Each structure stands twice: as C-alpha cells, then as structure tokens.
Chain A
Amino acid sequence: MGGEGMGGERTSDPGDLLPLTPAALNVLLALADGERHGYGIMLEVRERTGGKVRLGPGTLYGAIKRLKEGGVIEESGGRSGTEVDDERRRYYRLTGFGGKVLAAEVARLDGLVRAARRKGAFPTPSQEGV
C-alpha cells in the first residue's frame, strides 16, 4: 500500500500513503461505518463485494498491522458482549487521520473513473441503463 510505506513510519500527509492496496482499502471501508473485530471485517468485505473478495487471516492482519503502525486505524476497546470469547477479540476503528486517508483514496479512484469515462473506457451510469 501506500501501506508499504506504513512500515512503522508515520506521516501526517494522507497522500503519502496512497495508493492503498485492495486489502487496506477494503479494511478501511469496512471500518468507515463503525468499529469491528477482525472476523467482522472479513464478513463485511465478503457481503459488500457479493463474495468476490474474501480476505484471509494473513492478508487481513498484515493490512491491520500496517494500518495501525501508520496511525490509520486504532484499537477501540469496544466489546459487544454477545460472544463467549469476546475478551480475546480486539475491535478496530478509523482514526481521524484514517478518515482522511480513506477520503483521499476514494477521491483518487473517483478521479480515475472520471478520466476513464471521459475517454469512453467506462460506461456512464446512464449508458449502463440503455
């Protein structure tokens, strides 16, 4: 990811961490609407992508480690209390900086999609409906 640049070195400019890897972007999107634990992130990503993206534990926690080291996400300490082993699970949430990183990445991707549309390489929503 920009995440490769997150190896323990913190930056204050969200742009320094772009582009994000697909795994990192999916983790940030999963946390955009609230805190989740690792398995919760996996389920959110799978449901949101219709099962097309399945993060394995190694991919997920590699991304979590780098995002945490980069100050993009943090542990929230939140617990739902509905599961027996909840005390062993850690919940993660976006930091303020993480929100900016996510917004910057989405803006970057949006710019790419707009450019692709201008060049006719990608149908506009109205064309899709035709």
Chain B
Amino acid sequence: MASPRGDERAVGASERAYRSLLRAYPRDLRDEYGDEMALCFRDLCRAELEDRGGLGLATLWAHTLPELLHTALKERSSMLARNTYRSVLGVALATAFILLIPLMANWPWTLGDFVFAGALLFGTGLAYVLVARMGGNIAYRFAVGVAVAAAFLLVWINIAVGIIGEPDEAANLMYVGVLAVGIAGAFVARFRQQEMARALFATALAQALVAVIALILQLGSGSPPGVLGILILNGFFVALFVASALLFRHAGRQHTPAGVGQDG
C-alpha cells in the first residue's frame, strides 16, 4: 500500500495532468469553471485512492478521459453552432436591409437583379464573418474586410459596367482568375496572417497582370472606361489588395502565432 505522501504525489500529478487536458474545452467554459473542475477531479482522485488505491485511480482516469473527450467535443460544437447561427442571421438581416434601398428607391431592378445582389451581399458578408473570426486582433479583421470588400466591388463593377470595355467583354473573365488566386491562396495559407499577406500580394500581382495584358493586347480600348479608366480601376484594386496584405502582415507581427491556431 502506498504511503500518504505517495498518494498525495499521485493526486498532485493527476490534478496537473487534468488541468493541462482542460485546454480541450472552449475558453469560456475553462475560464469560468476550469479551476472548479480540477478541484473536483482532485477530490475524486483522493476518494478513489483512499477506497481502492492505485487501481481506483487508474479506473477513474479510464472513465475520465473518454468523458473529457466527449464533453469537450460537445461544448465546442455547441459553441460553434451558436456563433455560426448568430453570424448567419446577422448577415441575412443586413443583406435584407441593404436590399430595401433599391426596393424603396424604385430602382429598375428585375427579380433576377435582386436575387443576384442578395446572393453576392450575403456571400460577401458570410465570407467576412467566417474568416474574420479566425484572427485574434483588429488588424486581421480589417485585412479580411478590405480583401472581401475589394472582391465584392470587383465582381459588382464587372457585372454592372465592366472594367475592360463592356460588361459582356470576354476579357473581363480574367478577373475570375484574380479572385481564384485570392481564394486558393487563402486556403493554402490556412488563413494564417503572414501567409495570408503573401496570398493577397499574389492577388494584387494577378490584378496588375490583367491590366498589363489588357493594355498590351489593347483589349476594350475602344469603349469606356478606356485605357485611362482601365489603369485607374485596376490600380484601385491593386491598392486595396496590397493594403489588405500589409494589414495581414501587421496582424502577424502584433499577434503570433496565427489566430487560427489559438485555442478557445
């Protein structure tokens, strides 16, 4: 039979191990109840050691580990579902509110225009709330906001008036490639700050490349917005993507490691 001092050592080690495993729970639960949970576990360890010795302690751990895994997953999934539900609801309400403007102002929009605008606004808002929550600081959120706003404007202007010539000018499809670079880059970067900065620099480069190609091949030069318009519009988007990249870089310097990897 172990000595009382040996028992206390086992209890202390078990409590320390349990405290470190508490990181599996969402931060709010851990901050609010983590200390009490560890105290409870310590009391359980003492009781088991007193009643059944080392075997009791081993049995307690055998019961506790699956319980911890199960409840941690449950707490995390319910937190995620709650947050996502609120975000989606907020974006949907904001979209509906914005769509009231053309409706009340009697803009000559067809039903298809409303559906398209609604889908674009809702998709943009949702992309923002889902990606912005991955970073832990304001700079990251600003960076996501600028990038998402730039992507939104790029699609909107292209569909509405076209950047290279008329909206139906095939050269405008090159901007799909710009967006693809940004989206693929974000996933490759796994939304981490420094890597996101590189992805946005690449997007800015792709945007500039489209302008260069359009100017060299004289695409859309005969119709508005003309060469100067193409330069100004593309320069505007390049500036937005570069600004977003710089903000991501700043976010990475403020807060490492990436917010994506943060617990809680």
Q: Which residues of A contact B (CB under 8 A)?
A: 4, 7-8, 37-39, 42, 54, 56-62, 64-65, 85, 88-90
A90 and B72: CB pair below 8 A?
A: no
Judge whether B84 is part of the interface by a CB distance below 8 angstroms.
no
Q: Which of A4, A39, A62, A64 contacts B39 (CB 8 A)?
A: A39
Chain A residues positioned under 8 Å from B40 (CB to CB): 38-39, 42, 57, 60
Q: State the CA gap A39–B47 with chains docked (Å).
A: 11
Contact segment of B3-11, B60-68, B99-107, B250-258: B60-68
B39 and A58: CB pair below 8 A?
A: no
B128: shortest Cβ distance to chain A, in Å?
Answer: 23
Chain A residues positioned under 8 Å from B43 (CB to CB): 39
Chain A residues positioned under 8 Å from B74 (CB to CB): 62
Chain A residues positioned under 8 Å from B39 (CB to CB): 38-39, 85, 88-89
Judge whether B37 is part of the interface by a CB distance below 8 angstroms.
yes
With A8-B82, A88-B35, A89-B36: A57-B41 Cβ-Cβ less than 8 Å: yes
Contact segment of B25-33, B190-198, B239-247: B25-33
Chain B residues positioned under 8 Å from A64 (CB to CB): 33
B63 and A54: CB pair below 8 A?
A: yes
Question: B74's closest neighbor in chain A, by CB?
Answer: A62
What are 17 sample pairs from A and B whose C-beta atoms fall under 8 A apart?
Answer: A4-B78, A38-B36, A38-B37, A38-B39, A56-B63, A56-B64, A56-B67, A56-B71, A57-B44, A58-B37, A58-B70, A60-B40, A61-B29, A61-B36, A65-B29, A65-B32, A89-B39
Judge whether B75 is part of the interface by a CB distance below 8 angstroms.
yes
Chain A residues positioned under 8 Å from B78 (CB to CB): 4, 7
1/0 contact string of B71-86 vs chain A (CB within 8 Å): 1101100100010000
Q: State the CA gap A85–B36 with chains docked (Å).
A: 11
Q: Which of B25, B33, B68 has the most CB of A within 10 A?
A: B33
Question: B32's closest neighbor in chain A, by CB?
Answer: A65
B160: shortest Cβ distance to chain A, in Å?
Answer: 41
Chain B residues positioned under 8 Å from A39 (CB to CB): 39-40, 43-44
A57 and B82: CB pair below 8 A?
A: no
B51: shortest Cβ distance to chain A, in Å?
Answer: 11
With A56-B68, A56-B71: A61-B37 Cβ-Cβ less than 8 Å: yes
A62 and B75: CB pair below 8 A?
A: yes
Q: Which 3 A-B pairs have the closest CB atoms?
A: A58-B71, A56-B67, A57-B37
Chain B residues positioned under 8 Å from A7 (CB to CB): 78, 82
B44 and A59: CB pair below 8 A?
A: no
Chain B residues positioned under 8 Å from A57 (CB to CB): 37-38, 40-41, 44, 64, 68
Chain A residues positioned under 8 Å from B33 (CB to CB): 61, 64-65
B130: shortest Cβ distance to chain A, in Å?
Answer: 20
B36 and A59: CB pair below 8 A?
A: no
Chain A residues positioned under 8 Å from B82 (CB to CB): 7-8
1/0 contact string of B141-175 vs chain A (CB within 8 Å): 00000000000000000000000000000000000
Chain A residues positioned under 8 Å from B72 (CB to CB): 58
Q: Which of A37, A59, A88, A89 contacts B71 (CB 8 A)?
A: A59
Chain A residues positioned under 8 Å from B35 (CB to CB): 88
Q: Which of A8, A38, A42, A59 contacts B67 (CB 8 A)?
A: A59
Question: B71's closest neighbor in chain A, by CB?
Answer: A58
A42-B40, A56-B67, A61-B36 given. 5 additional CB < 8 A pairs? A54-B63, A57-B64, A58-B71, A64-B33, A89-B36
